[in-house]
Amino acid sequence: MTTALDLISGAASLCGAKDPTEPLTATEGSDLLELLNEMLESWTLDRLFVYQLAKYQYTYPGGQISQTVGLTGDIAIERPVQIEQSYMNTPDNQSYILKVITRTGYDAIGLKTLQTNIPQWIYYDPGFPLGTIYLYPVPGADIELFLNYWLALPSFTSLTDVISLPPGYNRA
């Protein structure tokens, strides 16, 4: 099993920052672990590096303009980096894709409280620590909402953390 220490030691050796026969010092290990986590965090913001889209099904309550997203939010999942796609199912199993719109698109809506049976748009504000989902028009009754969202790359808390990344990521 590969650990964070194995990964950063190999990278430091490959780029010539350390002799491959010498172990990392505690300070070097700590500094390189921080750099590894910063790199993974920056990759999370780029669709090319997102290795998995997660899907979540949620009963979105009727009459609600918005719902918070995050481990302590209304939708208790890891806060998405971005929502890639969303759709809803009606009680008679009809599926409708919701168009993902930008903040500019959502801000242009004049009457944000308009209600209907079938929302058409979804806007996601990825605020921190909780993101917020807005549906428009607002669903008049509970709906089954499906979110396909970017799953963040993991971060590591210690050099002994075992790394389990998809093929190609260890090499990167």
Distance set, CA 135 to CA 11, 43, 75, 124, 144 (Å): 45, 28, 14, 9, 13
Q: What is the pLDDT of residues 110-135, one digit of tens each?
A: 999 999 999 999 999 999 999 999 99
What is the rounded distance in angstroms from the CA atom of residue 122 to the CA atom of residue 141?
16
Asked if the model's pLDDT at residue 152 lies above 80, the reply is no
What pLDDT shows up at residue 161? 83
Mean pLDDT of the chain: 87
Query: What tens digit of pLDDT does each residue of 31-67 get?
Result: 888 888 888 777 766 655 655 678 999 999 999 999 9
Please tell me the pTM assigned to this model.
0.71
Q: What is the rounded distance in angstroms from the CA atom of residue 16 to the CA atom of residue 12?
A: 6
- Do residues 145 and 60 touch, judged by C-beta distance below 8 A? yes
Retrieve residue 77's tokens: 């999942």
Question: What pLDDT is attached to residue 21?
Answer: 82
Distance (Å, whole) CA 104 – CA 108 = 6
